[in-house]
């Protein structure tokens, strides 16, 4: 039926074209025109059948059977065709059941259709003109004979923007014009659908103004007003079969087109949908067996192969089309296929499309292909270069990723984000009830932040480190204090000899804590010369109390951040020492020893002393805020202890908050005890010397203390004892004592005489320069940060004569000491007047006072009474009492004022073998506090005036 209608339409169009090329009206079809009138169809056996099969697979039953005969010739005349149109009978169903069965297969069976078309094309090439084809209702796909004999066909025109469609090529096209799309759909519904595709003349498209035109693909099949500008489309296009129609996104639809042959547009039929009249074009005659053509074809095929190796885009299409040798032997098609594979301008392809001479077409295609192959080679080279550069990085990246996953598999992966988060979450859960609310909130916020961050971002690591710190603080975890006075005493005595003041204070602390039930932190400051055990007693105290011990030295510290931490905004920011201390000790109440607090530096960017103040002040430290941690820390339960050598340099506000405990140097006796009880066992252990095989006699030990280690502390003594034992170890090894079964009959004994063979000559024989001080020389007592020492004041007359009475001083004396020399000179004159009114010694003598050793700077007023005694000795011509030492400040009128460092001075005096010392009366209390051993064998005379001093120094009965 459809075929009958189509045939009728052919006639109608012929009429319409005769009058005008206006819009085609579709009247009710009368009787179908006779298909049998196509004359050449009869000359091409099977052609009509195949074509019918191709064009009317859907409605084969009603397809007219082509009648071979004269009808075709008549249709070549338009007038005749018109005249006959109304009387045509529907064409009969084509004969040949087998072929029909093939033809009625599914439309997707492209291969069959394509081969049918191919056959038809070949047939058309062989014959002269295909005329009198099927016309479908609606005016599309109609072939009409032209005046000059070529077959005309009416097709819906689909403009192409990206590139022309060459025969044999499949191309998906977007059709936006709803009428065109509708028309294509209708045709497809009825059976086979064909359209004419025409490439848009590119250079005439105004790409800049039309947004849609920016993408060629978006313009495919765009609504196109043919009547407005037909010249925008190339005249030569292709007849394409519609394979598939599907809905596109938004407006329009996708149409899969397969081009079959070249056509030329010869006229316009209608505008909605744009329908044009086309004539078929065929290749010019050529000899397929021509060597040049065959060689060129083979070269083209070779190029295509090369191209497919590097660019697999068209591989599928080529595979599809070359199946069953479809193209293999057709130079024309191979040329078309080759050209399509090239990424050239649409106009170049259009040239190929318009080229009907197969030889020239092959040449052109080969040219394009060669260029394409070269281009691809360059592209591959560039791509390889780029790949090489990034390959190394990629390799590393992949290896790292592999390593990560291996680690994860083995359970070694710690950095995985979720593992991290759950680790922190676990930690948080363990102290959630104990930590302050603020802390829990801060941790939860940070955890949330962590889970939102990319693990590669720098912020992730900052947050992670912060969480690490936050969760490693022992929130609410405290050790229980051992509040047992007896135990504590045992521990303290076990570790240290003497140091009774400190030990007593600690026992008091424990007693108070026992009664109160809580041990509130109190800052103890141990002040004393080096090596007296300030640091080591701190450790013992922690042991006695059952607290963790943490020590940090602030000597030379000038950066506040060391104490309070850096702000988190800085790269590499760290919390302060206290946070580190809590983390390390794992408890909230350790004993923290701040060493060398007197040597605290002064920072340019802040004052560390003020930061320490905040830390140590019991009023403030319950809410101490570290800059890094940014949450309050309760340090009120921490027991702080500080050590210092002198008090003067400790900032006053800091000192004010401390409880100072002075540790003076040790006397020889104490040193002896320390050496025997503590230092020797330590040295034996350190050197591995068997105790039974060696001995240091008491005499040797005393000599060691008095002649080698005279300083207040015992650090040097410890080193010397160790040195002796190292030498003993060497001797033992030399004697072979270490060998198995070795019998050593004799013990190695170090006595007073042999000591120097181990340690070399003594550093000091004695501090005493004279056994009996000569006239003008008196022994004084001094105190330094190293402990006490004896010092001599020497006076001599350098010039005499009327009015020459004056004084000069030497010996690195400070201002105060120089002033005190002047005072001494004036005071001495007074004293002399009282004792020997006749004498004009001080009026006529230029006196020189020197205090050895000259290289040691000295200062202070405490040598006042010593200077006066020395001057008087000179003036009176009498030596002072032997074995006498003195200390005391003197006023101009001869009053004696108290001085500091009494214990050290007393110790120094005893060390020097002094029998009698003169001290200011106001220092009586200090002397009373001294242990009996310290004062043992020493006569202390307390004085208030200089005359009392002189009375002692120059006894009357002598
Ligand atoms: N009374 C003592 N009993 C036993 N050993 C002691 C005593 N005093 C000090 N020591 C030992 O002397 C050595 C030095 O002591 P420590 O380092 O504590 O001195 P220090 O006062 O802190 O010195 P510095 O001011 O130089 O820091 C330690 O090995 C310590 O054991």
| ipTM, interface predicted TM-score of the complex | 0.95
| Rounded Cα distance, 942 and 901, in Å | 16
Flag whether 764 is in a domain. no
Which among 888, 884, 886, 773 is positioned nearest to 820, based on CA atoms? 888
DSSP assignment letter at 202: G
943 bridge partner residues: 920
Tell me whether residue 522 is one of the annotated catalytic residues: no
Q: What is the 3-state secondary structure (H, E, C) of 86-116?
A: CCCCCCCCCCCHHHHHHHCCCCCCHHHHHHH
Residue 689 Cα to ligand 1 midpoint, Å, equals 23
Residue 911 Cα to ligand 1 midpoint, Å, equals 20
| Rounded Cα distance, 19 and 58, in Å | 34
Look at strands 639-644 and 524-527 and give their pairing.
parallel
Flag whether 718 is in a domain. yes
3-state secondary structure of 757: helix
Residue nearest to atom 2 of ligand 1 (CA): 496
Quickly list DSSP for 306-354. HHHHH-GGGHHHHHHHHGGGTTTT-HHHHHHHHHHHS---HHHHHHHHH
DSSP assignment letter at 39: T
CB 326 within 8 A of CB 398: no
| pLDDT for position 739 | 66
CB 353 within 8 A of CB 265: no
693: CATH: 1.10.8.60
Examine the domain organization and report whether 62 and 197 are in the same domain: yes
Residue 751 Cα to ligand 1 midpoint, Å, equals 26
Examine the domain organization and report whether 63 and 203 are in the same domain: yes
Flag whether 546 is in a domain. yes
Look at strands 806-810 and 916-920 and give their pairing.
unpaired
Examine the domain organization and report whether 270 and 315 are in the same domain: no
362: CATH: 1.20.58.1480
Tell me whether residue 862 is one of the annotated catalytic residues: yes
| pLDDT for position 80 | 36
Distances, alpha carbon 851 to alpha carbons 218, 497, 911, in Å: 107, 35, 20
- Domain of residue 858 covers 777-953
Domain-terminating residue out of 620, 635, 662: 662
Flag whether 708 is in a domain. yes
| Rounded Cα distance, 551 and 538, in Å | 9
Examine the domain organization and report whether 789 and 919 are in the same domain: yes
Examine the domain organization and report whether 361 and 455 are in the same domain: no
Residues with CB under 6 A from ligand 1: 496-499, 528, 530-536, 643, 645, 674, 678, 714-715, 718
Residue nearest to atom 6 of ligand 1 (CA): 533
Examine the domain organization and report whether 823 and 921 are in the same domain: yes
Flag whether 478 is in a domain. no
CB 342 within 8 A of CB 313: no
Flag whether 72 is in a domain. yes
271: CATH: 2.30.130.40
Which of the residues 238, 862, 873, 912 is marked catalytic?
862
Residue 579 Cα to ligand 1 midpoint, Å, equals 27
| Rounded Cα distance, 152 and 18, in Å | 14
Examine the domain organization and report whether 634 and 489 are in the same domain: yes
197 bridge partner residues: 158, 238
Residue nearest to atom 25 of ligand 1 (CA): 530
Examine the domain organization and report whether 816 and 937 are in the same domain: yes
Domain-terminating residue out of 223, 250, 280: 280
Quickly list DSSP for 891-923. -TTSBEE--S-HHHHHHHHHHTT--EEEEEGGG
Q: In the structure encoding, which two tokens stand for residue 500, read together?
A: 């009774």
Quickly list DSSP for 360-404. HHHHHHHHHHHHHHHHHHHHHHHHHHHHHHHHHHHHHHHHHHHHH
Would you tell me how many other CB atoms lie within 10 Å of the CB of residue 86? 14
Residue nearest to atom 7 of ligand 1 (CA): 533
Examine the domain organization and report whether 218 and 301 are in the same domain: no
DSSP assignment letter at 747: P
Residue 686 Cα to ligand 1 midpoint, Å, equals 17
Examine the domain organization and report whether 393 and 342 are in the same domain: yes
- Secondary structure element (H or E) that encloses residue 581, with its range: helix 577-585
Which among 535, 654, 545, 540 is positioned nearest to 589, based on CA atoms? 545
Q: Show the DSSP H helices in 171-287 as ranges.
A: 178-190, 216-219
Mutate to test the pocket of ligand 1, among 495, 531, 675, 686 (most ligand atoms within 8 A of CB): 531
Domain-terminating residue out of 373, 391, 413: 413
Residue nearest to atom 10 of ligand 1 (CA): 533
E-strand stretches of 1-149? 142-145
E-strand stretches of 801-938? 806-810, 845-850, 884-886, 889-890, 896-897, 916-920
Flag whether 479 is in a domain. no
Mutate to test the pocket of ligand 1, among 535, 646, 716 (most ligand atoms within 8 A of CB): 535
| pLDDT for position 920 | 92
- CA dihedral (385, 391, 394, 395) in degrees, to 10, reads 180
Task: Give the position, in ligand 1's atom list, of the atom nearest the Cα of 496.
Answer: 3
Residue 531 Cα to ligand 1 midpoint, Å, equals 4
Which of the residues 74, 282, 905, 935 is marked catalytic?
905
3-state secondary structure of 119: helix
| Rounded Cα distance, 219 and 160, in Å | 8
Residue nearest to atom 18 of ligand 1 (CA): 533
Examine the domain organization and report whether 274 and 287 are in the same domain: no
| pLDDT for position 764 | 61
835: CATH: 3.30.230.10
Task: Give the position, in ligand 1's atom list, of the atom nearest the Cα of 499.
Answer: 1
Domains identified in the chain, total number = 6
Segment-wise mean pLDDT, segments of 10 residues, the chain, 958 residues: 34 31 33 34 34 32 36 36 37 36 37 46 39 36 43 82 85 83 86 87 48 38 47 86 78 83 85 83 84 88 81 67 61 85 84 89 90 85 83 83 79 68 86 86 88 80 87 87 86 87 84 77 81 88 89 84 84 86 89 89 76 82 85 86 87 85 80 90 89 88 84 88 91 76 71 85 67 85 76 88 86 87 90 86 89 77 90 88 89 88 83 86 86 82 90 79
Examine the domain organization and report whether 219 and 287 are in the same domain: no
Flag whether 673 is in a domain. no
């Amino acid at each position: 039926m459809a075929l009958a209608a189509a045939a009728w339409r052919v006639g109608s169009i012929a009429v319409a074209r005769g009058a005008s090329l206006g819009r085609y009206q579709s009247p009710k079809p009368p009787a179908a025109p006779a298909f049998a009138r196509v004359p050449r169809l009869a000359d091409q056996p099977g052609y009509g059948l195949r074509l019918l099969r191709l064009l009317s697979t859907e409605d084969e039953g009603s397809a007219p059977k082509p009648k071979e005969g004269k009808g075709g010739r008549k249709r070549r005349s338009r007038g005749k065709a018109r005249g006959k149109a109304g009387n045509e009978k529907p064409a009969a169903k084509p004969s040949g059941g087998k072929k029909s069965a093939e033809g009625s297969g599914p439309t997707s069976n492209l291969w069959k259709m394509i081969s049918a078309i191919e056959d038809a094309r070949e047939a058309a090439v062989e014959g002269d003109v295909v005329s009198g084809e099927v016309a479908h209702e609606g005016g599309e796909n109609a072939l009409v004979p032209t005046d000059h004999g070529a077959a005309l066909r009416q097709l819906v025109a689909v403009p192409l923007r990206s590139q022309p469609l060459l025969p044999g090529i499949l191309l998906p096209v977007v059709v936006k014009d709803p009428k065109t799309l509708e028309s294509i759909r209708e045709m497809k519904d009825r059976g086979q659908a064909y359209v004419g595709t025409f490439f848009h003349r590119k250079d005439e498209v105004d790409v800049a103004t039309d947004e849609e035109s920016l993408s060629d693909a978006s313009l495919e099949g765009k609504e196109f007003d043919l009547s407005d500008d037909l010249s925008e489309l190339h005249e030569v296009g292709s007849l394409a079969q519609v394979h598939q129609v599907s809905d596109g996104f938004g407006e329009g639809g996708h149409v899969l087109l397969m081009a079959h042959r070249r056509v030329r547009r010869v006229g316009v039929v209608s505008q909605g949908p744009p329908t044009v009249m086309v004539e078929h074009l065929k290749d010019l005659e050529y000899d397929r067996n021509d060597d040049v053509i065959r060689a060129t074809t083979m070269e083209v095929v070779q190029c295509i192969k090369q191209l497919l190796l590097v660019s697999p885009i068209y591989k599928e299409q080529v595979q599809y089309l070359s199946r069953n040798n479809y193209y293999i032997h057709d130079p024309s098609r191979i040329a078309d296929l080759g050209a399509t594979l090239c990424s050239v301008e649409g106009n170049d392809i259009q040239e190929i499309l318009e080229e009907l001479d197969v030889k020239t077409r092959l040449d052109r295609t080969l040219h394009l292909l060669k260029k394409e192959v070269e281009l691809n080679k360059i592209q591959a080279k560039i791509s390889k270069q780029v790949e090489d550069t990034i390959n190394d990085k990629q390799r590393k990246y992949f290896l790292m990723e592999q390593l990560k996953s291996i680690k994860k598999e083995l359970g070694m992966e710690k950095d995985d984000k979720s593992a991290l988060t759950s680790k922190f979450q676990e930690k948080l859960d363990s102290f959630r009830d104990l930590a302050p609310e603020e802390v829990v909130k801060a941790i939860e916020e940070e955890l949330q932040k962590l889970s939102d961050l990319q693990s590669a971002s720098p912020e992730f690591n900052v947050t992670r480190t912060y969480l690490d710190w936050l969760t490693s603080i022992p929130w609410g975890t405290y050790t229980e204090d051992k509040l047992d006075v007896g135990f504590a005493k045992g521990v303290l005595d076990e570790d240290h000899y003497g140091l009774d003041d400190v030990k007593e204070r600690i026992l008091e602390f424990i007693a108070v804590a026992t009664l109160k039930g809580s041990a509130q932190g109190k800052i103890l400051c141990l002040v004393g010369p080096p090596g007296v055990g300030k640091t080591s007693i701190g450790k013992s105290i922690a042991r006695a109390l059952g607290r963790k011990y943490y020590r940090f030295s602030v000597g030379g510290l000038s950066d506040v951040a060391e104490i309070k931490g850096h702000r988190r905004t800085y790269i590499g920011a760290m919390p302060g020492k206290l946070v580190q201390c809590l983390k390390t000790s794992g408890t909230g109440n350790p004993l923290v020893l701040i060493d060398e607090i007197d040597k605290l530096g002064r920072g340019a960017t802040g004052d560390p002393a003020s930061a320490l103040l905040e830390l140590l002040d019991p009023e403030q430290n319950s809410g101490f805020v570290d800059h890094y941690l940014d949450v309050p820390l309760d340090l009120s339960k921490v027991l702080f202890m500080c050590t210092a050598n002198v008090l003067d340099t400790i900032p006053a506000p800091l000192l004010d908050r401390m409880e100072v405990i002075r540790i003076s140097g040790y006397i020889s006796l104490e040193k002896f005890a320390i050496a025997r009880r503590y230092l020797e066992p330590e040295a034996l252990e350190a050197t591995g010397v068997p105790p039974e095989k060696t001995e240091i006699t008491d005499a040797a030990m005393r000599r060691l203390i008095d002649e080698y280690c005279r300083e207040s502390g015992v650090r040097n003594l410890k080193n010397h004892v160790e040195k002796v034992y190292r030498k003993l170890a060497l001797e033992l090894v030399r004697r072979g004592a270490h060998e198995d079964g070795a019998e050593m009959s004799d013990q190695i004994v170090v006595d007073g005489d042999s000591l120097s063979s181990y340690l070399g000559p003594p550093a000091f024989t004695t501090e005493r320069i004279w056994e009996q001080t000569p006239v003008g020389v008196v022994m004084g007592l001094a105190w330094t940060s190293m402990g006490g020492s004896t010092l001599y004041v020497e006076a001599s007359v350098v010039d005499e004569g009327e009015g020459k009475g004056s004084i000069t001083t030497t010996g690195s004396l400070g201002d105060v000491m120089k002033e005190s020399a002047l005072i001494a000179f004036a005071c001495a004159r007074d004293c002399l007047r009282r004792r020997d009114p006749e004498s004009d010694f001080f009026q006529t003598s230029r006196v020189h006072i020197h205090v050895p050793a000259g290289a040691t700077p000295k200062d202070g007023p405490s040598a006042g009474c010593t200077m006066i005694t020395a001057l008087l000795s000179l003036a009176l011509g009498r030596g002072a009492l032997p074995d006498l030492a003195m200390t005391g400040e003197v006023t101009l009128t001869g009053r004696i004022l108290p001085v500091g460092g009494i214990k050290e001075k007393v110790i120094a005096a005893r060390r020097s073998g002094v029998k009698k010392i003169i001290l200011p009366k106001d220092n009586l209390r200090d002397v009373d506090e001294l242990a009996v051993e310290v004062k043992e064998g020493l006569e202390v005379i307390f004085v208030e005036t200089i005359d009392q001093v002189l009375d002692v120094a120059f006894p009357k009965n002598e």
